[in-house]
Amino acid sequence: MNILGISAFYHDSAATLICDGEIIAAAQEERFTRIKHDHNFPLNAVKYCLAEGGVGKTELDAVVFYDKPITKFARIMETYFSVAPKGIRSFMMAMPLWLREKLWIPMDIEKSLLKCGIDMPKEIYFPEHHESHAASAFFPSPFESAAVLTVDGVGEWTTSSIAHGRGNKLEMLSDMHFPHSLGLLYSAFTYFTGFRVNSGEYKLMGLAPYGDPVYVDVIKDKLLDIRDDGSFRMNMDYFGYLDGLVMTNKKFADLFGGPARDAESDVTKREMDIAKSIQVVTEEIVLSMARYAKEITGENNLCLAGGVALNCVANGRILQEKIFDNVWIQPAAGDAGGALGAALAIWHIVKNGPRTSDNINDKVSGSYLGPEFMAADIKEYLDEKGYSYEKMPVENRGAIIAKILDEQNVVGHFAGRMEFGPRALGNRSIIGDARSPKMQSIMNLKIKYRESFRPFAPSCLEESVSDFFELDEPSPYMLLVAPVKKSRCIESKVKRDAAEMKEWINEARSDVPAITHVDYSARVQTVSPKTNKLYYDIIKAFEELTGLGIIINTSFNVRGEPIVCTPEDAYRCFMRTEMDYLVLGDYLLEKTKQPEWKEEGDWRGEFALD
């Protein structure tokens, strides 16, 4: 049975195909259209998934959209009525989108399938938003049974939920409703600190370790009423998202000593302290929710999804507090993953499709669920364009790339199937030497063209993770933050002051400084040969060469650009930046040997800053 899952019209549109419960393909639309967080109907992603699955004209059995548009529409109308006449501007802007797009989802689906040459199936489903998230967390997890916690901005009404997954069943137990939302609270602070809502939340998280939690009491006293079970009520007097076009209002600004920071202006100590404070509060709430989930389910396993589950610092705290024995986080935890969850929900819950689990292996194949490009096609592309390359012998591939990294070069690594979800996990990654103290600045300013305070994540061998970090379990999806092992750390001599930020950033804090954040933590990816042999071999060879089986891994893109999808995207990004080498499958390209790269105008204007 072929089931197509779709998420669209909010952010990160995506499609996924499952066949008899097996995940065949999943991809985000932004990768094809090159528009970051593309929210339009995922026509290209649908087309790719159907092609990957070889689905014929009459072979699609069901289509699932990841939430209930009409319930969401009713929530929005009720919200406008409750604040009227304020909110009229927001209403006037929102309604055309609803009337032109969001209410016509079944028609969009039918037209899109027609364009792909596929007949519209008789069955079309609309599970609830958080049910889709919960299904995306539990059904592909390794566990036979688990507590499931979903936390995000808002779905229909629900903003966070607790469910109990057992076998092929998922029982929704408890939820919290709009406008009280941890995701929206975090987004409000994202807006206030000058970053983009629905995109800059991870920057706020990265900024937090630079600050001190001086506003925690203000947030808890004035903005929130937090209960023991992690649920809370927000004081809406301070927020603007019910009736305005921005997340916070003047009263909120007065509480934090002035207006919101302008985008792209200097980050000050105030923003750092705000970031730290909201991170502390977020962790407190998530931990309380996790404890309550444990209490009402009695489970030892936890599955997480929803946008807030991408807060890997909070995830790391859940692990450290040992509330659950095991934690599994959906790698596409945001709305893109809702497409996968929706499809799995229909297969298991509606169709009673069987589900097996061994409590060890998950079912998302390392999240490598996107397009792959054949060696012959890559060669043909390179020959046609006249680009200089050499073919690496398969048996020496890892050693050749490791030597290049050891010589302090930055490498764009493009191989295998593209990752599904926001993280590059080795197949669409820029990699470098984690031992270099200058690598963080070089990669931020000369390759990624992004803010210098932002840290980089490490990829290390799964079996040696505890040699580097206070972590003794796999973190294959880069969704856990763990402290760097104490024995590797070097005491900081730089004063914790914003004026010294540059010096502070560049200070070596461990023997793997490029991946050690200012609070001696790192967002860890463990690499296993079971899911990515090519990438594992590079790190293994690097270990044999240098004694350290760890490298920097950052997504293959520049700021504001979606992660590369095709070899063409990869080559373009390679030539636009100061990367030294590009690996396309088994082909190695050296920057100095490439023909001159010409472009009309300044390409940096092509991508809106995120």
Query: How far apart, in whole angstroms, are the C-alpha atoms of residue 153 and residue 184?
Result: 5
Q: Does 603 bind other proteins (CB under 8 A)?
A: no
Give the residue among 367, 83, 341 at the shortest CA–CA distance from 236. Answer: 83
Among 154, 471, 482, 589, binds other proteins (CB under 8 A): 154
Q: Which helix (H) or strand (E) holds 165?
A: strand 158-166
Q: Is 104 in the site for other proteins (CB under 8 A)?
A: yes
Residue 263 makes contact with other proteins by CB under 8 A? no
For other proteins, what does the binding mask look like between residues 33 and 72, x meaning CB under 8 A?
Answer: ------x---xx--xx--xx-----------------xx-
What is the Cβ-side half-sphere exposure of residue 583, based on CA atoms within 13 angstroms? 30
What part of residues 361-380 is at the interface with other proteins (CB under 8 A)? 371-374, 377-378
One character per residue 405-444, x = contact with other proteins (rule: CB under 8 A): ----------------------------------------
> How many angstroms separate the CA atoms of 484 and 444, rounded?
21
If the CB atoms of residues 159 and 521 are measured against other proteins, the closer one turns out to be 159
Reading phi first (left if > 0) and then psi (alpha if -120 to 50, else beta), residue 434 is in alpha
Among 1, 35, 83, 94, binds other proteins (CB under 8 A): 94
Torsion of CA 45, 47, 52, 54, to 10 degrees: 150
Two tokens, residue 510 = 């461990």
Instruction: Please name the residue ranges forming H helices in 18-128.
Output: 30-33, 43-52, 69-83, 88-100, 105-115
User: Of 373 and 468, which CB lies nearer to other proteins in the complex structure?
Assistant: 373
Question: What are φ and ψ of residue 526, in 5° steps?
Answer: -100, 140
Q: Which is nearer to other proteins, 116 or 494 (CB)?
A: 116
Candidates 1, 19, 35, 95; binder of other proteins (CB under 8 A) is: 95
* Look-up of token digits 């963080």: 440
Under the criterion CB under 8 A, does residue 309 sit at the interface with other proteins?
A: no
User: H or E stretch including 131?
Assistant: helix 129-138
Find, among 312, 552, 527, the residue nearest to 456 by Cα. Answer: 552
Minimum CB distance to other proteins, residue 70 (Å)? 5
Cis, peptide link before residue 179, omega less than 30° from 0: yes
Q: Which is nearer to other proteins, 114 or 296 (CB)?
A: 114
Q: Which is nearer to other proteins, 44 or 440 (CB)?
A: 44
- The answer to whether 168 and 355 have CB atoms below 8 angstroms apart is yes
Smallest distance, other proteins to C-beta of residue 247, A: 7
Cβ closest to other proteins, residue 34 vs residue 351: 34
Gap between the Cα atoms of 445 and 505, Å rounded: 13
- Binding residue for other proteins, selected from 13, 16, 28, 90, defined by CB under 8 A: 90
Query: Contact, 265 vs 194, CB < 8 A?
Result: yes
User: What is the DSSP code (8-state) at residue 461?
Assistant: E
Q: Which stretch binds other proteins (CB under 8 A): 105-113, 354-362, 447-455, 489-497?
A: 105-113
Q: How far apart are CA 133 and CA 127, in angstroms?
A: 10
Instruction: Tell me: does residue 83 bind other proteins (CB under 8 A).
Output: no
**7, 11, 480, 534: which one binds other proteins (CB under 8 A):** 11
Question: Three-class SS of residue 215?
Answer: coil
Applying CB under 8 A, the span of 90-98, 131-139, 469-477, 489-497 interacting with other proteins comes to 90-98
Which residues 208-227 are close enough to bind other proteins by CB under 8 A? none
> To the nearest whole angstrom, how small is the minimum distance from the Cβ of residue 609 to other proteins?
14
Note whether 482 and 516 are within 8 A (CB). Answer: no
- Give the HSE-up count for residue 134: Cα atoms under 13 Å, Cβ half-sphere: 34
Per CB under 8 A, 383 contacts other proteins:
no
CA angle 395, 401, 403 (to 5 degrees): 105
Q: Report which of 591, 459, 477, 562 is spatially closest to residue 469, judged by C-alpha positions.
A: 459
Q: CB–CB of 46/4 below 8 Å?
A: yes
Q: Considering the rule CB under 8 A, would residue 508 count as an interface residue with other proteins?
A: no
* Residues near other proteins (CB under 8 A), total: 52
Per CB under 8 A, the segment of 214-222, 288-296, 358-366, 561-569 that binds other proteins is 561-569
- Minimum distance from residue 111 beta carbon to other proteins (Å): 7
- Does residue 198 interact with other proteins by CB under 8 A? yes
CA distances from 390 to 63, 426, 580, 586 (A): 44, 21, 15, 9
- Provide, rounded to whole angstroms, the least separation between the CB of residue 67 and other proteins: 12
12: left (phi over 0), alpha (psi -120 to 50) or beta: left
Contact residue for other proteins among 184, 204, 208, 460 (CB under 8 A)? 184
341 binds other proteins (CB under 8 A): no
Q: Which is nearer to other proteins, 365 or 566 (CB)?
A: 566
Shortest gap between Cβ of 122 and other proteins (angstroms)?
Answer: 13
Nearest approach, Cβ of residue 100 and other proteins (Å)? 7
Instruction: Tell which one of 84, 107, 296, 445 touches other proteins (CB under 8 A).
Output: 107
What gap in Å lies between CA 461 and CA 484, rounded to an integer? 15
Which residues sit at the interface with other proteins, rule CB under 8 A? 10-11, 32, 39, 43-44, 47-48, 51-52, 70-71, 74, 76-77, 90, 93-100, 103-104, 106-107, 110-111, 114-116, 153-154, 184, 187, 197-198, 241, 245, 247, 371-374, 377-378, 381, 566-568
